[in-house]
A and B are shown apart, each in its own frame.
Chain A
Amino acid sequence: MKAEREDAWARGSGSASADETTQADTRRELLASADFRHLVARRWRVSLVLTALLFVLYYGYILLIALDRGFVSQRIGGTTTLGIPLGVAVIFGAWALTGAYVLWANRTYDREVARLRARVKAE
């Protein structure tokens, strides 16, 4: 029920009662607010930096194999080649990046979202 009401605001439909006009004003203010804009900018900065690191990690691995086969084939003890721990390291790296995002989002992003949402609800 609550979701439906919020949805009606989201689509800007419904009758223009005084209550809803205030709501629309709050939403406009929120959108224009420095807090909201910073949050969105920060979210994408974090996402894009992590995506870039992921690209370096994975395509770096692929290109390293493609361009310097000898380096990846060198033995690091017994018959084990460097390529084997490198492949495992790509997976560990992907885990680390995923974990970093979740830590940031759970600690920083969610708190900011709760604060900004409260502004709309407070009206």
Chain B
Amino acid sequence: METTLGTPTLSAVLCFLAIVALTLAVTYWAARRTKSASEFYAAGRSVSSLQNGLALAGDYMSAASFLGITGLVALRGYDGMIYATGWLVGWPALMFLIAEPLRNLGKFTFADVVAFRLRQAPVRVASAVGGILTLLFYVLAQMVGAGGLITLMFGLPYEWAVIGVGAVMLAYVLFGGMIATTWVQIIKAILLLIGVTVLTVMVLAQFGFSPGALYSAVAERYGQTALEPGGLVADPIDAVSLGLALMLGLLGLPHILMRFYTVPDARAARTSVLYATGFIGYFYIIVPIVGFGASALVGRDLIRKIDAGGNMAAPLVAELLGGTPFLGFIAAVAFATILAVVAGLTLAGASALSHDIFTHVVRRGRATEAEQMRVARISTIVFGLLAVVLGILFKGQNVAFMVGLAFAIAASANFPPLLLSIVWRRFNTAGAVASIVSGAFLSVGLIVISPTIWVDLLHNPSAIFPLRNPAIVSMPLSVLCGILASLATREPDAEAKFDDEKLRTYLGIGAE
């Protein structure tokens, strides 16, 4: 087939401009409602659970998920499907372990919960470092991916693509805060779900709406192995380690966790996870169908020729079945996805800098409303510029491992102290700092000496640490460090406050 990918077609540009215009109009509307810190960070806690469910889904279904997993299924068959399920299973765990206590205890960031009864300065600094490290790797992977994708889809130079994403996303966050970011996520989630649904129906229509016929077409072309597990789950320990990072990393992603403060109470937080799990599960059930459709209809050779990683599988099948106008729509949706995810990450990064570091460490919790807003906006610019600069510096680098690394850090440095502070009376400042520092250090350190970086990027003959995914080692060790450091020190104040914390955790008494 001939493809118009890489040349800016009229339909792509129109769809793209329509999305940018709509989201900027929403931002203008939101900006007039963003006057206080609570509105900037938490949308005034006025988001409904359905809206938050969509926004959570929007934050989570990145372009990497949509384009990456379709590509993985298209090129590697069933392995891509195994990978897709791993992206959903964190959501029930988030509900069972974290969502409601988090909503009841916190104010704007997950560090509010960790630091609730502990000494503010050390815990806030450590949590902010863990959080920002997670967000930086995540945003870097998104930015480099975004630059590459936009170049592929619209033919725009890489640097301009990264700067463009940075500028539009900064406008959302800077002026519209959480209200605008939430609505951008909702719009994007709806567009993405519609786009993928239409694609799925189009693919299935080619096979008489019989998935079996689709699988047969794939098997006929690429052999039965396309429908069997391949190399992804070759090593059971590594596979479980990846699964742990994907599942429990979600419970430590700052931009996801801060969404729970946008709903009025714990019950709404709970219902919003139910909605999010529904949307995200649906997405990961139908995305593999698009991937299989791409490999049967477009063919692996052409997909690989356009992009070796397979990222263009979904746009190619869209063009084949829906023509250039539909390709324009899907490309614009992928772009909206990138914008929205980067905006969510930037808002979370800005709140770690301004709410955790400035308000609670520099000002010791006594910052005026006006001061908080000013610093929040300065932090947004700082984090946004950092994302753009890093995106440009890492042009052409292999950053695929960075999303995995972000999840490993989240699972090892952010999740253990969060859970321990909720459930364990004896958990204290030393324990929190030890668990965050060890988790962050181990997940980054182990991935450097793992095959992922040591062999694949640094070209050493063999790796010092055998697993590609460090979470199965780094997370338990982080929990252990947290427990040992807590037991080695006493903090009567923290233990005394645990009772008050319990009433708030379980009954919501005093929740903001």
Contact = CB atoms under 8 A, between A and B. Distances in A.
Interface of A: 3, 6-7, 9-12, 27-28, 30-31, 36, 39-40, 43-44, 47-48, 50-51, 54, 57-59, 61-63, 65-67, 69, 72-73, 77-81, 83-84, 87-88, 90-92, 94-95, 97-99, 101-102, 105-106, 110, 113, 116-117, 120
Interface of B: 78, 81-82, 84-86, 88-89, 91-93, 95-97, 100, 211-213, 215-216, 218-220, 224, 227-229, 233-236, 239-240, 243, 247, 267, 270-271, 273-274, 277-278, 281, 284-285, 288, 423, 497, 499-504, 506-512
A106 B356 CA distance: 33
B212 A58 contact: no
Nearest to A5: B510
B500 A79 contact: no
A105 to B, nearest CB: 6
Contact of A97 (B92, B224, B235): B92
Given A58-B85, A98-B277, A113-B507, 18 more contacts: A10-B510, A27-B503, A47-B97, A57-B89, A58-B86, A58-B243, A62-B239, A63-B236, A67-B236, A83-B228, A90-B88, A94-B277, A98-B95, A98-B274, A99-B274, A102-B274, A105-B100, A110-B267
Contacts of A92: 281
A27 B93 CA distance: 30
A80 B84 contact: no
B234 to A, nearest CB: 7
A36 B497 CA distance: 17
Contacts of B96: 47-48, 50-51, 54, 101
Contacts of B229: 65, 69, 72-73, 83
A79 B85 contact: no
Contacts of A40: 502, 506
| 8 nearest A-B residue pairs (beta carbon) | A66-B236, A10-B510, A6-B510, A79-B219, A73-B228, A47-B96, A58-B89, A81-B227
Contact of A91 (B88, B100, B267): B88
A101 B89 contact: no
29 contacts: A7-B512, A9-B509, A12-B497, A12-B500, A30-B503, A31-B499, A40-B502, A44-B423, A51-B93, A54-B93, A58-B86, A58-B89, A58-B247, A61-B85, A62-B239, A63-B239, A66-B236, A79-B212, A79-B220, A80-B215, A81-B228, A87-B288, A90-B88, A94-B88, A95-B278, A95-B281, A101-B270, A105-B267, A113-B507
Contacts of B273: 98
B509 A72 contact: no
B39 to A, nearest CB: 16
Nearest to B423: A44
A65 B236 CA distance: 9
Given A83-B229, A87-B84, A110-B267, A3 B510 contact: yes
Contact of B240 (A3, A59, A69, A81): A59
Nearest to B210: A78
Nearest to B216: A79
Contact of B239 (A3, A12, A66): A66
A43 B225 CA distance: 45
A82 B256 CA distance: 34
Given A62-B239, A65-B229, A87 B85 contact: yes
A36 B500 CA distance: 13
A101 B507 contact: no
B88 A84 contact: no
Nearest to A100: B92
B503 A84 contact: no
B251 to A, nearest CB: 11
A79 B512 contact: no
Nearest to B84: A87
Nearest to A46: B96
Contacts of B285: 88, 91
A43 B228 CA distance: 40
A79 B225 CA distance: 10
Contacts of B86: 58
A43 B224 CA distance: 46
A31 to B, nearest CB: 5
A37 to B, nearest CB: 10
Nearest to A66: B236
B200 to A, nearest CB: 13
B207 to A, nearest CB: 12
Contacts of A97: 92
B85 A91 contact: yes
A62 B233 contact: yes
Contact of B81 (A10, A62, A87): A87
B215 A102 contact: no
Contacts of B288: 87
Contact of B510 (A7, A80, A84): A7
Contacts of A98: 91-92, 95, 273-274, 277
A94 B271 contact: no
B277 A31 contact: no
A3 B212 contact: no
A117 B508 contact: yes
A94 B86 CA distance: 11
